[in-house]
Amino acid sequence: MLKGFRDFILRGNVVDLAVAVVIGAAFGEVVNGFIAAFIDPLIALMLGGAGEDLAAIVFGGFPVGLFLSALVTFLLKALVIYFFVVRPFSNMAARYAPKAEPTDDVKLLTEIRDLQQQQLTALQRARGD
């Protein structure tokens, strides 16, 4: 029984998952700090300070404001992550990624295209176009 547990713990994917969870939690704190420092004051400025009272909204006895607050927080986090993490890293990965060599199929199709273009040009010259 302990051997099975040891094998489970020592598998690479368990360790990778543990590292990802810890890094994700730490990164979540960075995003929360960014939102608290920059985004929340902007929203409060635009709403005249009413941004803090979003969670207090009640509709028909249901605390709708809690849902709205969670939704706004989620959208803000997604926005920050997309524009400050996903896009820059995607651009950087595209810039520094090694260029893929064309496959044999692509090379063959390119040769056929070029040959057809040469034949068309020769035919047009022969006709006087």
- Tokens 């920050």 found at: 80
Q: Give the tens place of pLDDT for each residue, 32-87.
A: 888 778 777 776 677 666 555 666 667 788 777 777 777 888 888 888 888 888 89
One domain, residues 107 and 47 = no
| pLDDT, mean over the chain | 81
Angle between helix axes 64-81 and 12-34 (nearest 10 degrees) is: 110
DSSP string for 42-76: HHHHHTTTGGGGGGG--BTTB-HHHHHHHHHHHHH
> Do 109 and 59 sit in the same domain of this protein?
no
Do 81 and 124 have their domain in common? Answer: no
Query: What is the pLDDT, as a whole number, of residue 30?
Result: 85
Domains of the chain: total: 2
Q: CATH number, domain at 74?
A: 1.10.1200
Residue 95 has pLDDT above 90, yes or no: no
Higher pLDDT, 58 or 111: 111
Q: Mark whether 19 and 76 lie in a shared domain.
A: yes
Does one domain contain both 82 and 129?
Answer: no
Higher pLDDT, 57 or 4: 4
Give the chain's end-to-end CA distance (angstroms, integer): 84
Please tell me whether the overall predicted TM-score, pTM, comes out greater than 0.85 for this model: no
Task: Look up the domain containing 123 and give its range.
Answer: 101-129
